[in-house]
Amino acid sequence: MKIWYQSYSQIGVDPKWSKYEQDLENYVRKVARPDTKIDIHGVKKTASKMTESDYLQYLHLGQIIEMALQAEREGYDAFCIGGAQDLGHNYIKEVLDIPVAFIAESSFYHACLLSRKFGIIGMNSRILQRQMDLVKFHGLEQRCVPGTHLDSTIDGVLELCKKDPEGIIDRFNKAAREIIVSGAGAIIPGFGALGSFLGERNIHDVDGVPIVDIVAVVIKTAEMLVDMQRLGEKRNRGSSYNYASKDELLAARKLYGII
């Protein structure tokens, strides 16, 4: 099985992402099945406020969709999205025939297997709100307690992971205890880099409450979806994810000058 793991960030370009890249590279190979080959890909461009601006996310998303189509053309069995905001969820599921696994979606449903209620620890209030909107999109409001956040930025969390790992673990544990008091029986880290950071250090619970291993979960979800597709189970192009045939989608790309 061959999986394309797509990061929303650049890979091998910005030194501040180096620790995340190292953790991710090590961890995906640790959690994948022995017969699964995972290739990690970054993006070519990243605007500074991409995680905060709807318009910048729209611009950013185009390159993700192109990479998803490239993965399918190159014969990958599944496409994984490594960002915890699940950008392009409907678009990518509509345009691809191969299975697609998203971190937030996979983690929400996995958390429901672990506990009646889960909670999210976001990076900051803006990103947390986006993730709580995703909970509503999936109809899981009754399974999720109000989330909390680290009151930080992506750069801030990355710097702490690299220079003060004990400090970020303490902040995460403090935030986790807030949602545990609110009734969370499973904890979802709201940042892909934080997920690989915790997983690589074998940190899987706070006071006995499980931390959803978001990187492992999205990979295992992709593996399972490929297995099920090989058994004959495929997404229905007449479902809520798909409104046009594959041929119609490709024809539209030509019409708009994308290819």
Q: What is the dihedral of CA 190, 193, 195, 201, to 10 degrees?
A: -150
Residue partners of 20: CB distance under 8 A and separation at least 6? 9, 158, 161, 193, 196, 197
pLDDT of residue 259: 64
Bridge partners of residue 3, in order along the sequence: 38, 78
Mean pLDDT taken over the chain: 89
Residues 259, 256: Cα–Cα separation, whole Å: 8
- Measured over the CA atoms of residue 114, residue 119, residue 120 and residue 126, the dihedral's sign is positive
pLDDT of residue 237: 65
Q: Which residue is associated with the tokens 């209030």?
A: 125
pLDDT of residue 207: 97
Helix (H) or strand (E) holding 129: helix 125-137
Yes or no: say if 119 and 189 are a contact pair by the CB < 8 Å rule: no
pLDDT of residue 245: 81
Would the pLDDT of 248 be above 90? Answer: no
The yes-or-no answer to whether 2-103+216-255 and 105-213 have a common fold is yes
Residue 148: name the closest of 170, 109, 112, 177 by CA. 177
Would the pLDDT of 238 be above 80? Answer: no
Distance set, CA 55 to CA 24, 25, 32, 51, 228 (Å): 28, 30, 35, 10, 36
Distance set, CA 123 to CA 2, 72, 168, 195, 254 (Å): 31, 32, 12, 12, 39
Residues 158, 161: Cα–Cα separation, whole Å: 5
- Number of residues that this document lists for the chain: 259
DSSP code at position 189: E
Yes or no: say if 102 and 211 are a contact pair by the CB < 8 Å rule: no
Helix (H) or strand (E) holding 167: helix 165-181
* Fold of the CATH domain 105-213: Rossmann fold (3.40.50)
* Fold of the CATH domain 2-103+216-255: Rossmann fold (3.40.50)
Domain boundaries of the chain, sorted by first residue = 2-103+216-255, 105-213
Is residue 155 very low, low, confident or very high in pLDDT (cuts 50, 70, 90)? confident
Yes or no: say if 159 and 137 are a contact pair by the CB < 8 Å rule: no
